[in-house]
Amino acid sequence: MNTQLVLASVGEMLQLQHWFSSTEQQQSWGGDNFDYPCTELRFLQLLCRPGTQSYSLLDSDNNTVLGFGQVCDRFGCHHLARLVIHPQQRSKGLAKTLISELIIQALNQQYRNISLYVHRHNNIALQCYASLGFEISPPPEAESPRLHFMTLAADDAIAGVNRYLQQQS
């Protein structure tokens, strides 16, 4: 499958709303402030935070959205947020593609560590992030009993991205 990461359009962001079928799913992905269900306008307001770049992972052959993620400046790191793969496209390695492409975007802007939060119960995501070199770290703010804070050192991120790029060629 040919993929490409692009800045997310409004239409692509609105598609995400249909990827969640419960309050728990949507809030686990987007945060506790996400209403479910909510209007398209409210969804976009919650999703589009200042200083945050939103990206879509597209299937280049048919221009369909396979995944979504955001990059922002948080805790002195490039912080990845709201990572999701289309429900019908999961278990195909696309999360690693999405994260690797987001890391490339982030490191092209500035050399620094990468961070993210993940729900403690989300074993699939925890395994994915660990396989990319992320490690559970002390949180930079009040610890949540529901979340792990994970970090990836910039040098390790570059090494991982280089491995990813070699696999792509």
Instruction: Encode pLDDT of 83-140 as tens digits.
Output: 999 999 999 999 999 999 999 999 999 999 999 999 999 999 999 999 999 999 999 9
Q: Of 156, 151, 160, 157, whose CA–CA distance to 77 is shortest? A: 151
pLDDT at 43 over 90: yes
Say whether 68 sits in a helix, a strand or coil: strand
Tell me which CATH code domain 3-168 carries: 3.40.630.30
pTM for this prediction: 0.96
pLDDT at 143 over 90: no
122-152: buried (b, 16+ CB within 10 Å) or exposed (e) per residue? eeebbebbeebbbeeeeeeeeeeeeebbbbb
pLDDT at 78 over 90: yes
pLDDT in the model for residue 148:
96
